Amino acid sequence: MSDILVVGSLAYDTISTPSGKAPRTLGGSANYFSLAASLFAPVKVVGVVGEDYESKDLEMLKTRNVDVTGLKTVKGKTFHWEGAYDGDMNEAKTLATELNVFADFNPELPASYQDAQYVFLANIDPALQLRVLEQVKRPKLVGADTMNFWISSKRDTLVKVLGKIDALLINEGEAEMLTGASNAIAASDALIKMGPKAVVVKRGEYGFVLRTQEGYFILPAFPVATVVDPTGAGDTFAGAFFGTLARSNRGLDLASLKEACVNGCLLASFTVQGFGVSALRDLTMVGVEKRAVEFNTVTSRA
């Protein structure tokens, strides 16, 4: 088992969905990722928060085997995002983005983090993703996520990142935007030619497409009748995906990748059942394993 280094955002979100409204709920890519990944392997997080970041939220990470040595608290307020889902639960409408202390985020890795074997670059400026890669020494596996804002504003830098990573996790709309393809299969074909050895196109309620040089692996999402809040589901998927790979420590062999994708689906199915990270806070492997049995029943031909 290897430790995982994740660099991303820690935030407070205000989220409205048909199920209600959650003001100032804990969010951010690094939080979702860490809570999911830590069920499988130890996590080290690099990020920045403001003076308003609550001690109980920091302690929650610590109790989940997350090393917060690389987390800086600086003067000002924590990153805040406000969004609403109305009708299409796969796409949020952004109502407000307050970067606050995150606006000046410049990731600096503690010396104890620089030997990290598994590195995940969450959804941050691709220039910062490159800066992180300059600081890690000899990682065994590097993964990354991105978003439409970076695709449209910093495509050239993002393409450089793709040439330096092993695995890309990206949602379907962004994959199509980045490649110009019209569907997940064509997009994954194009992305695998841009550098990554493995590409996972996340498709929300429709599951995922895994593309490697060996071919495809495709499964639906775990069926959830009532989606309370889909925010962070992709980050949760990434956390479980990388956690699984770090636990097995077998690199990108196909069996490990398939298991990682299944666990990504399972953990994401918990996230969407509550606002923010609420469904991940007390989740244990017992709950995950029970859902894995249910998922096998849904997807098995037997």
- Domains (range + CATH), the chain: 4-299 (3.40.1190.20)
Residue 195 · residue 166 · CB < 8 Å:
no
* Least confident stretch, 5-19, 20-34, 89-103, 128-142: 89-103
In 3-state terms, what secondary structure has residue 277?
Answer: coil
pLDDT at 71 over 80: yes
Q: What is the pLDDT of residues 35-63, one digit of tens each?
A: 999 999 999 999 999 999 999 999 999 99
Q: What is the pLDDT of residues 241-274, one digit of tens each?
A: 999 999 999 889 999 999 999 999 999 999 999 9
Residue 3 · residue 70 · CB < 8 Å:
no
- pLDDT for 87: 78
* Cβ-Cβ contacts under 8 Å for 8 (sequence gap 6 or more): 28, 29, 30, 33, 45, 47, 120, 121, 122, 123, 124, 235
Predicted confidence band of residue 159 (pLDDT cuts 50, 70, 90): very high
Q: How far apart are CA 127 and CA 42, in angstroms?
A: 26
pLDDT (mean) for 26-30: 97
* Cβ-Cβ contacts under 8 Å for 63 (sequence gap 6 or more): none
Residue 106 · residue 128 · CB < 8 Å:
yes
Mean pLDDT of the chain: 95
Question: pTM for the complete prediction?
Answer: 0.96
| First and final C-alpha spacing in the chain | 33
Q: How far apart are CA 32 and CA 236, in angstroms?
A: 5
SS (H, E, C) 152-177: HHCHHHHHHHHCCCCEEEEEHHHHHH
Q: Where are the alpha helices (DSSP H) in the chain?
A: 29-37, 55-63, 126-135, 148-153, 155-162, 172-179, 184-192, 233-248, 254-271, 278-281, 285-299
pLDDT (mean) for 198-212: 95
Q: What letter represents residue 11's amino acid? A: A
Helix axes 233-248, 254-271, angle to 10 degrees: 140
